[in-house]
């Protein structure tokens, strides 16, 4: 099957392109948001090809995977074709939780019946007003990066890109409070901007996926402080690596993390005191991390994810 999809979220896309299909990603000279092309720091297979907007016009696709509202117009402008009943079969992956007032959470595809909305969590499906659009939930899936946990670094690890811009969403203020009791290291793009704002927190810039996983696995536990997100893939990846997790009880997290894998709560004192206990008891931390890995492999494994997508793509195409 020939599939067109924009490179929007590198981690999600890395899992998606592991299937047995031909994948095409738009590329622009500046590799900006609408034409990033192939990922530079993630392991993508040779089945992923880059195409310029001009080259898109000469290709026939079996299905288009949309991920942002303006891609509906962008596809038509670049290819001259419509979508859904008006042209090429399509699905729309909704990665995000809705924004704004709860009464205004209408999805852009709510009036249409010809393009299914694929939500990445059950939480998202019930939060969005999907209107007439058919919906399906395909939970995240990640490759098995192997058990890498060592826990030798006595600090929590957080993974977040652009933490200054996304401060409230990502719970950076909560990280600062926990850091008053337990050391915290933050990894991700733009973390260097935190230095003058939150003293005492170690920051690391852009890393390849392999480097990030290696460093994460050295920390004694993973902290997931997000207030409003679609169950970040970094949490699932941390569990797969074998880290025990401390998670803010928000959005889909309570359904994704079992009690044996760590602690899910909105009580910051409990998150901090648990971290302190794990620092004093590495054996418990390791046991929780093994449970987290077992759960992640069973519920968020790549084979299930790809099977779910294959079934949907065949139905749509």
**Has residue 250 been placed in a domain?**
yes
Residue whose pair of structure tokens reads 């933050």 in the numeric block:
186
**Has residue 6 been placed in a domain?**
yes
Banded model confidence at residue 243, pLDDT cuts 50, 70, 90: very high
CATH of the domain at 203: 3.40.50.2000
**Has residue 306 been placed in a domain?**
yes
Q: Are 111 and 138 contained in the same domain?
A: yes
Mean confidence (pLDDT) of the chain: 94
- Helix or strand or coil: residue 208? coil
Per the structure block, which two tokens stand in for 160? 């977040």
Q: Give the pairing type, strands 90-94 and 87-88.
A: unpaired
Name the domain count of the chain: 2
| Predicted pLDDT of residue 288 | 98
Q: Are 290 and 308 contained in the same domain?
A: no
| Predicted pLDDT of residue 198 | 64
CB 122 within 8 A of CB 137: yes
Domain span including residue 16: 2-142+302-316
| Predicted pLDDT of residue 209 | 82
**Has residue 280 been placed in a domain?**
yes
Which tens digits make up the pLDDT trace of 200-235?
A: 566 566 678 888 899 999 999 999 999 999 998 999
Stated pTM of the model: 0.93
Q: Are 172 and 104 contained in the same domain?
A: no
| Predicted pLDDT of residue 165 | 78
The residues facing 158 across adjacent strands are 186
Q: Are 292 and 220 contained in the same domain?
A: yes
Per the structure block, which two tokens stand in for 34? 């609408």
CA-closest candidate to residue 66, choices 12, 5, 3: 5
Q: Are 126 and 219 contained in the same domain?
A: no
**Has residue 147 been placed in a domain?**
no
CB 232 within 8 A of CB 247: no
């Amino acid at each position: 099957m020939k599939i067109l999809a924009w490179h929007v979220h590198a981690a999600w896309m890395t899992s998606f392109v592991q299937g047995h299909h031909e994948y095409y990603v738009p590329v622009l000279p500046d590799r900006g948001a609408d034409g990033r092309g192939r990922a530079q720091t993630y392991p993508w297979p040779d089945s992923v090809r880059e195409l310029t907007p001009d080259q898109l016009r000469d290709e026939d696709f079996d299905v288009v995977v949309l991920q942002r509202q303006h891609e509906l117009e962008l596809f038509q402008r670049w290819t001259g074709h419509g979508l859904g009943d008006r042209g090429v079969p399509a699905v729309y992956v909704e990665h995000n939780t809705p924004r704004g007032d709860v009464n205004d959470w209408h999805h852009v595809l709510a009036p249409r019946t010809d393009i299914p909305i694929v939500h990445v969590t059950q939480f998202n499906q019930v939060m969005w007003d999907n209107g007439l659009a058919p919906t399906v939930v395909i939970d995240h899936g990640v490759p098995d990066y192997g058990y890498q946990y060592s826990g030798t670094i006595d600090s929590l690890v957080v993974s977040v890109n652009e933490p200054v811009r996304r401060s409230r969403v990502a719970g950076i203020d909560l990280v600062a409070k926990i850091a008053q009791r337990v050391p915290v290291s933050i990894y991700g793009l733009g973390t260097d901007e935190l230095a003058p704002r939150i003293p005492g927190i170690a920051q690391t810039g852009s890393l390849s996926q392999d480097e990030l996983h290696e460093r994460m696995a050295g920390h004694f536990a993973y902290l997931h402080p997000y207030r409003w997100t679609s169950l970040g893939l970094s949490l699932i990846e941390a569990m797969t690596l074998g880290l025990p997790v401390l998670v803010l009880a928000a959005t889909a997290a309570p359904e994704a993390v079992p009690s044996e894998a760590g602690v899910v709560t909105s009580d910051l004192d409990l998150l901090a005191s648990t971290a302190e206990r794990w620092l004093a008891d590495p054996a418990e931390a390791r046991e929780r991390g093994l449970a987290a890995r077992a759960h992640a492999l069973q519920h968020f494994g790549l084979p299930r994810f790809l099977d779910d997508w294959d079934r949907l793509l065949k139905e749509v195409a």
